[in-house]
Structure 1
Amino acid sequence: MKPFRYVRAYSVEEATAAHAGRPGSCYLAGGTNLVDLMKLGVERPGTLIDVSRLPLDAVEELPDGSVRAGGTVRNSDLAAHPLVRERYPVLSRALLAGASGQLRNVATTGGNLLQRTRCPYFQDLGKPCNKREPGTGCGARDGVHRDHAILGHSPQCIATHPSDMAVALAALDAQVELHGVRGRRTLPVAEFHRLPGGRPEQDTEIAPGELITGVLLPPATAGLPSAYRKARDRASYAFALASVAVVLDVEDSVVRQARIAFGGLAHRPWRARRAEEELRGGAASDQAFEAAMDAELAAAEPLHDNAFKVRLARDLACDVLRHLADSPPVA
């Protein structure tokens, strides 16, 4: 095992100062992904900064009606919180679909957003992977890629992002709070993760040394009918072949607003902007839902073994939209 330095931080400022953007430094909270990757030899940090004791473990309502979930809130606590269950059921359902109870009891909000792909070529040091080691090639492209991306991929990488929570947050128009040595800033969750392009090793737009201090859930999406649906190879503890989070605002059978995000299809949660535009102001009908999904997924570029994902994602989204169109707003 490679030796590493361990630092326990008791404030955000102490944590970011200990990291300070130094190569080889990593934040540690639940460790459900990072520690696994350390065991595999994929991650070899020189310094671990333990942030699990920072005062970032609360879920609270803010004066403007938004809800803030701290960066170290456990996934189980976030899924069960009354504010989340009542106002943002899509998030609660996505979290419950994401992992076993044991993992949810340890995994954190920030760590969930920062988890890395479960692509077997990334996790195996004996296989080529541009994400793990830039310039070595993408073994999955000509190898086993049934679970891989059909949208937004590049010749450099076809991996998918594994988070269920991030898909729901993208559909909710949530913001991620970041704190670094240069201060605080926020980013839309839908823009936080990157497509691979020519730099697949860079998963997110987070700057070196920045710490996720929380996630903001806006009042605009609170109380609207919402749902998360996930298709997987087995009934539990499996990553999505395709998933969809939908927040739908319908009045008098007309779609006022639709917010749709896919999981399991791309290098990041895929916000279905084209489908949302197609639906806005139109009838909440089966035909409209199907046409909108066809327009969105026309951009798909499936590989030899994962073309089934196009139809799977289309049918999954249409089924959720139909269900929500008949659902009353949450009180």
Structure 2
Amino acid sequence: MTVPVLHPCDFIRPRLRAGRQERVVLYAAMRLRTAPPHLGVHVLQTCTFLLAKAVRERFGVEVLVRFTALDDLACETRECPATGTLYERTVRDVLGTERAAERAAERAAELLRTHYDALFTALSAATGVAYETGTYTEQQARPAFREELLASLGLMDTLRWVLAPSTGSVPVRLPCPHCGWAQRHGEHTELLSADARGARFAAVCLDHGTYMVDVTRGNDTFVGLTALHRSHVAERVAVRDSALPVIVEGADRAMAGRLLDEAFRFRPGAVPPPRLLTPLVLTESGAKLSGTSAGEKEEAEETEETEEKGEKYPGMLINLVSRMLSSPQYFERGYTMGEVTRLAGVTVT
């Protein structure tokens, strides 16, 4: 059967023609860790730049890439000895000094510069595509994000069966203001009230007992959300833009995309953004290469060594990803490290 799609970016053509937008913004997220990112992350990021370039050339529109660094991922865990309840602190919580938000923001910016600036600058220069970076902490504090978050809380009785169809549990993570620890699964976090003006939560800290948290449109109290809840709110914000938003993520997120599209059905007035799925980099066993896979330390170190080769690394990535995007049979699929090495024509570990 003949495949009716010649290039991944052609998936957005119907929406672009229907909306008659003259600008397209491609959104991508990456985990912010203290260790260097692995090759799979760089493949997604390179895909995002090359897709943006293709959108500009094929459709004659302005393009921009926006990367969000997810600094809300757990990096420390504790267990209550009496109940077994798990508590965690995230990257943003431990980056700060004595809970100093300013220091946490500085360290996050430093990690962004260390791990991504050189590569993004090279990819931007090679493609002519402008980009922006920021953290989830910054994103969730903006008024538009707060508005959509508060609206989602008001509809949670319905949305929870879309954002968590197996359990209906969509916990909100609110770090203790004294130490930054929060219950991983929100067992004792209770939404007391929510409307368009704000929401009040009660939560429990292992060390400091019960505490109250107010989330309003105007404050910057940190709110940690599940991955799907966070994506839903961010996408609702993105579709407010006059530009066409396009979500770029790995092919393993296909199921999540279906749930996020479904969530839009319960909130009238907007349609979900189009999604472009990028190839995955797999271990030789077929598992997705990730920061939590076995051998993370070795993979990160080897990736860092590859980056230190200077200008050759971005060029290798562009060559590799260009081949992945060259035919329908090559995108939205996985590539083992051995296959990546063969396609790239160099040893990449």
- The TM-score bracket by the shorter chain reads under 0.3
Which structure is richer in relative contact order (CA contacts within 8 A, separation 6 or more)?
Answer: 2
The TM-score with structure 1 as length reference comes to 0.23
TM-score, with normalisation over the residues of structure 2?
Answer: 0.22
